[in-house]
A and B are shown apart, each in its own frame.
Chain A
Amino acid sequence: MSRWISLTAIVLLGWGGIPTVASAQERMEDTTARKMPLKVWGAQFEEFEYRYSDDDEELGTWSGDVFYGTDDLKLRWLTTGEYAIDEQAYEKLENQLVGQVPISDFFDAKAGVRFDTPEGPDRTYAVVGISGLAPQWVEIDASLYVSEKGDASAELDAEYELLLTNRLILAAALDATVAFSEDREIGVGKGLVSTETGLRLSYDLIDRSFSPYIGVVHERTYGDSEDFVRAAGGDAESWFAVVGARLSF
C-alpha cells in the first residue's frame, strides 16, 4: 500500500516537472552532438560512362545517388540516364526521390516518387522497394512502380564484386524490368521488358572516390517490348564496350 503511495508520489513529482529527488547534485544533460543521431551524407556514381555499341551508337550514361540522413531515416535521390550522343537526346532519364528506413540488419525499405523525363512521353511513378545486402555479398535493389496511368512494373538490380586484388575489382551487374501491364506509348509490353547485364573491371585509383573502369554491357528487350522497339526502328539487342569511372564523394 505505502509502496503504491510512494510510487504515485514519484510519478506525480516527475510529471510535475519538479527535478527528481535523486538529482540533488547539479547534473547537466548531454546536449552535445554525440547525444544526437549522427547525420551523414554521401554521393556515389556506381556508373559514369561512355558506351560504344556494336551498331556504332554512342551513349553517355550514368547511375548514381545522393543521400542524407541518420541510421533511422535517409533521404535518397537516385538518378539514371542514357544520353544518345549523335541524336543529342536522352533515351532514358530517370530521377527518384525516396525515403529509406532500415527493416532488418541488412535491408532497408524505401518509398517515394520516380520521374521519367526522356525524349518522348514523360511518366511519374510511385515507388516502393527494398535495398540491401543479400547473403554471399550480393547487393540487391528491388523496386515496384505504379505510373500515373496505373501501369505497374518491377525492377531488380543485383551486383556482385569480385576482388581480383584489393584494388582491382570485377563487378557483375544485372538489371531486369518486368511490366504487369502494357504501356505502349513508352514502348513497354507486358512481361519481361528488358535486361541489362554488365561486367566492369575497375581499379581504385584514389581511395574509393575515383575508380576508372572498362567493361562490356549487354542490353536486350523481350516480348512485346521487343516488337515495339523494332517497330520504332530501334535495336532490340545491343552490345556495348564501356569506359568510365566509379565515383564517390
Chain B
Amino acid sequence: MKTAFLAGALSLLLPTMGVAGEYNLTVDRVEIDTGDFVKTGIGYNGASPGPVLRFKEGENVSINVTNNLDEMTSIHWHGLILPFEQDGVPGISFPGIKPGETFTYNFPITQSGTYWFHSHSGFQEPDGAYGAIVIEPEGREPFRYDREYVVQLTDKHPHSGDRIMRNLKMMPDYYNREQQTVGEFFSDVSDQGFMTTVKDRLAWGGMRMMKADVEDLQGFTGLINGKGPEQNWTGLFQPGERIRLRFINSSAMTYFDVRIPGLDMTVVQADGNNVQPVSVDEFRIGVAETYDVIVRPRDEKAYTIFAESMGRSGYARATLAPKEGMEAAVPKLRDPARLTMADMGGMHGMDHGDMAGMDHSTMGEMDHSDMKDMDHSGMKGMDHSGMKGMDHSAMGHGSEMTAGGASDPFYAEGSGLIPTAANGGKFLSYADLKAQKPLYEEREATREIELRLTGNMERYTWSINGVKYEDADPIRLQYGERVRFKFVNETMMTHPMHLHGMWSMLDVGAGQLNPVKHTISVQPGTTVYMETEVDEPGQWAFHCHLSYHAAAGMFRKVIVEGGPESTQAAEGDVGQAGGEA
C-alpha cells in the first residue's frame, strides 16, 4: 500500500526515467576499532564507515536498505535534492525502517559533488551509521585532477550516543577536560596581571558560563575513513599528480581545522557545489559540511593530513604518500580555544552584577536592536556589501582581541574562535566562498524568517527561538517563495544549521554568487543570513547538526505548502495569510 503510494508519487515526479542504478545497503552491528579503543557500533554492509556510494548525475537510483538491527533505522541522504518521502527522516519523511525490513529508496540524482549519508534515528549516526556519497557530474568540471580520495572525518567516542546524551544532561561539562584550572589562573595573572585576571574570572563566574565551553564532547578519537591517528589511513600518489580530496565532516559534535603541512590546498567545492577556487593553508570544516580541495604534492615524500578539533582536545590524522608505510611528522595540538566576551554576543558590556538574576528569556528580548546602529567603521577593508545583515552584536565592544588581531566577518569581532592558520598563512573564511555559477536567477527574498539559536548550557537544553522541538509548531513555507533566514546565535556555541531538501544560499555579500550550501555554521554572538528557494514540496527537517543539540531540541519541521503535488486552491489563501503575518 505504502510502496504503491511511493511508486505512484515517484512515477509522477519522474516522467522521464533515466539510467537506473541499483544499490544494496545492510544496516549492521559492527565492531569499530579506532586504535585507541574497540567498541561495537552501527555500520553499513558490515563496516563503519559504510561504503562510498558512487552515483552519476542524471541516473535514477534504487537503494535497498535492509535493517539487520533490533531497532528502527533510517538513512538520510545528506545534501541530496530529492522527493521528501525519500529523505529518510523518521516521523517527517517516512515512518522509518523496521527491524528485519528492507526499504527501497528511489530517487533521481539531479546534482553532482561530494555528500554523505547517515542514519537519522536516535544516536545511530554518532554510533557509526554513516558513509560517503560521490556523484559524478554529467558535464565537465571546472578543475582537473588525476586521482581522488574521500577523506571522511568523525569524532569516535568510546561511549554510546545514548550514554553521552544522558551524561551531558546530568552534567553539561561531563566531557569537558579543558576547563580553566588554578594553573591557568596563575599563568593568566603573570600575563595580564592579578586584577584583570580576577575580574575576568568574576565576570564569567557571574554569568555562570565557561570560557572553555567550546566542545561539549571531548575524549573522542578523530577518525579519517574509519582509521585512528595510529592506524594512519594513507592515500597514495605519484609526485606531480593533482589529488582531489573530498573532505566530509561526519562528526557528531566536532569541528575540525584541517591542514596538510607543506601543501597548498585549493578549495573547489563546498557542500557539493563548485566554488571559485580559493587557495588556502587551512580550513575549518563544520559538522556535516563537505569541502573538496585539490593538492599537488611534487616531492617524493609523505604529507600529513592533520585535522585538529576546534577546541584542540583531539585530532584526526592521515597521510598522503608515494608509498604505503611512509609517514610525515604529526604536528602538536595548539592551545585549547577560549571563548571571549565577544562570543557572549549581546551580553557583553552589561553590569555583571545584575546578570546574576537574569534569565535567558530576558536576554532574548534584549535583542540586538541597539547594536544595529553600531559603527562598522572598524571593519574597513572588508566587503561592506556582504555586511548588511551581519549585525555583529559584540562588535565595538571587543576588548579582547585574539592573537595577531585575526578577524573573520563570520565570527564576532574579538571572538576566541577566530581561526588562524598554523603556518601563519591563509585560513579559509565563509567570506571567500563564491559560487562558480549561480544556481537560481537572482531575486529579492519574499520574506524573512528570524531563527534565534537559543539554549541553556547548564541544563543542556537547546532550542530555536527559545522553544524546543517537542513544543514547537512547524515552520510553514509556501512553495515558490524565496525565504531569507536570519540566524541569530544567542548561545556561546557554534551551531551547524542544516535544512533538508532545499539549498541554503549563504549570504557572503556576493549576490548571485553566494555559495550554495546545505549546512551553515553560525558562530556565537553572530547573525548570519541564508536564502532558500522554496522549490520542493512536502515536509523537511531543519536542525542543528550537532547530534546532542538536535536531540535536546534545536530542531524544527518545515512544511512546504502548495507546489505541484497540491491541488487545493485553499493553500494559496493560507499562504497569503502567513505572508502577511
- B208 x A71 contact (CB < 8 A): no
- A105 x B470 contact (CB < 8 A): no
Q: Judge whether B170 is part of the interface by a CB distance below 8 angstroms.
A: yes
- B568 x A164 contact (CB < 8 A): no
**Total inter-chain residue pairs, C-beta < 8 Å:** 111
User: Mask for A153-170, Cβ within 8 A of B = 1, else 0?
Assistant: 000000000111111000
| Measured CA separation A49–B551 after assembly (Å) | 37
Q: Which residues of A contact B181 (CB under 8 A)?
A: 163-166
* Shortest Cβ distance from A170 into B: residue: B182
Q: Taking the nearest CB of chain A, how far is it from the CB of B174, in angstroms?
A: 6
User: Mask for B544-567, Cβ within 8 A of A = 1, else 0?
Assistant: 000000111101010101000111
CB contact list, B348-397 vs A, under 8 A? 356-360
Q: Which residues of B contact A163 (CB under 8 A)?
A: 179-182
Q: Judge whether A60 is part of the interface by a CB distance below 8 angstroms.
A: no
- B122 x A33 contact (CB < 8 A): yes
Q: Judge whether A2 is part of the interface by a CB distance below 8 angstroms.
A: no
Q: Judge whether A149 is part of the interface by a CB distance below 8 angstroms.
A: no
- B568 x A24 contact (CB < 8 A): yes
Q: Taking the nearest CB of chain A, how far is it from the CB of B200, in angstroms?
A: 13
User: Mask for B60-83, Cβ within 8 A of A = 1, else 0?
Assistant: 000000000000000000000000
- A38 x B171 contact (CB < 8 A): no
Q: Taking the nearest CB of chain B, how far is it from the CB of A38, in angstroms?
A: 7
Q: Taking the nearest CB of chain A, how far is it from the CB of B317, in angstroms?
A: 23
Q: Judge whether A136 is part of the interface by a CB distance below 8 angstroms.
A: yes
With A22-B571, A35-B470, A38-B552 as given contacts, are A165 and B208 in contact (CB-CB < 8 Å)? no
Q: Taking the nearest CB of chain A, how far is it from the CB of B478, in angstroms?
A: 10
Contact with B459, one of A26, A34, A102 (Cβ below 8 angstroms) = A102
| Measured CA separation A40–B359 after assembly (Å) | 23
Q: Which residues of A contact B182 (CB under 8 A)?
A: 162-164
CB contact list, B519-560 vs A, under 8 A? 537-539, 550-553, 555, 557, 559
With A106-B208, A166-B178 as given contacts, are A28 and B470 in contact (CB-CB < 8 Å)? no
* Shortest Cβ distance from B460 into A: residue: A71
| Measured CA separation A142–B91 after assembly (Å) | 43
Contact with A105, one of B96, B359, B555 (Cβ below 8 angstroms) = B359
| Measured CA separation A134–B551 after assembly (Å) | 27
Q: Which residues of A contact B468 (CB under 8 A)?
A: 71
| Chain A interface size, under 10 / 10 to 19 / 20 to 34 / 35 or more | 35 or more
- B208 x A28 contact (CB < 8 A): no
- B183 x A165 contact (CB < 8 A): yes
Q: Which residues of A contact B550 (CB under 8 A)?
A: 34
Contact with B91, one of A31, A104, A133, A165 (Cβ below 8 angstroms) = A31
Q: Taking the nearest CB of chain A, how far is it from the CB of B123, in angstroms?
A: 11
- B170 x A30 contact (CB < 8 A): no
Q: Which residues of B contact A29 (CB under 8 A)?
A: 91
- B92 x A28 contact (CB < 8 A): yes
Contact with A38, one of B537, B551, B568 (Cβ below 8 angstroms) = B551
- B91 x A105 contact (CB < 8 A): no
Q: Which residues of B contact A133 (CB under 8 A)?
A: 208, 458
Q: Taking the nearest CB of chain A, how far is it from the CB of B116, in angstroms?
A: 20
Q: Which residues of A contact B557 (CB under 8 A)?
A: 30
With A28-B91, A208-B171 as given contacts, are A105 and B456 in contact (CB-CB < 8 Å)? yes
Q: Judge whether A37 is part of the interface by a CB distance below 8 angstroms.
A: yes
| Measured CA separation A88–B219 after assembly (Å) | 43
Q: Judge whether B202 is part of the interface by a CB distance below 8 angstroms.
A: yes
Q: Which residues of B contact A102 (CB under 8 A)?
A: 459
| Measured CA separation A105–B355 after assembly (Å) | 12
Q: Which residues of A contact B240 (CB under 8 A)?
A: none
- A71 x B570 contact (CB < 8 A): no
Q: Which residues of B contact A207 (CB under 8 A)?
A: 167, 174, 219
* Shortest Cβ distance from B568 into A: residue: A24
Q: Judge whether A18 is part of the interface by a CB distance below 8 angstroms.
A: no
Q: Judge whether B410 is part of the interface by a CB distance below 8 angstroms.
A: no
| Measured CA separation A40–B207 after assembly (Å) | 26
User: Mask for B173-200, Cβ within 8 A of A = 1, else 0?
Assistant: 0100111111100000000000000000
- A25 x B555 contact (CB < 8 A): no
CB contact list, A14-61 vs B, under 8 A? 21-22, 24-38, 40-42, 44
Q: Judge whether B461 is part of the interface by a CB distance below 8 angstroms.
A: yes
| Measured CA separation A82–B477 after assembly (Å) | 62
Q: Judge whether B242 is part of the interface by a CB distance below 8 angstroms.
A: no
Q: Judge whether B205 is part of the interface by a CB distance below 8 angstroms.
A: yes
Q: Judge whether A248 is part of the interface by a CB distance below 8 angstroms.
A: yes
CB contact list, A136-158 vs B, under 8 A? 136-137
- B571 x A24 contact (CB < 8 A): yes
Q: Judge whether A234 is part of the interface by a CB distance below 8 angstroms.
A: no
Q: Judge whether B54 is part of the interface by a CB distance below 8 angstroms.
A: no
Q: Judge whether A135 is part of the interface by a CB distance below 8 angstroms.
A: yes
| Measured CA separation A171–B553 after assembly (Å) | 33
- A34 x B177 contact (CB < 8 A): no
| Measured CA separation A229–B27 after assembly (Å) | 67
| Measured CA separation A26–B84 after assembly (Å) | 11
Contact with B208, one of A21, A22, A34, A135 (Cβ below 8 angstroms) = A135
- A104 x B551 contact (CB < 8 A): no
- B206 x A42 contact (CB < 8 A): no
- A35 x B91 contact (CB < 8 A): yes
Q: Judge whether B43 is part of the interface by a CB distance below 8 angstroms.
A: no
* Shortest Cβ distance from B553 into A: residue: A38
Q: Which residues of A contact B574 (CB under 8 A)?
A: 21-22
Q: Judge whether B95 is part of the interface by a CB distance below 8 angstroms.
A: yes
- A105 x B458 contact (CB < 8 A): yes
Q: Judge whether B165 is part of the interface by a CB distance below 8 angstroms.
A: yes
Q: Which residues of A contact B178 (CB under 8 A)?
A: 166
14 contacts between A and B (CB under 8 A): A21-B568, A21-B571, A21-B574, A24-B566, A27-B559, A34-B555, A38-B169, A40-B169, A44-B170, A102-B459, A135-B356, A162-B182, A164-B182, A248-B170
Q: Which 6 A-B pairs have the closest CB atoms?
A: A30-B91, A32-B91, A24-B568, A136-B205, A21-B570, A42-B170
Could you tell me which A residues sit within 8 Å of B by CB distance? 21-22, 24-38, 40-42, 44, 71, 102, 104-106, 133-137, 162-167, 207-208, 248
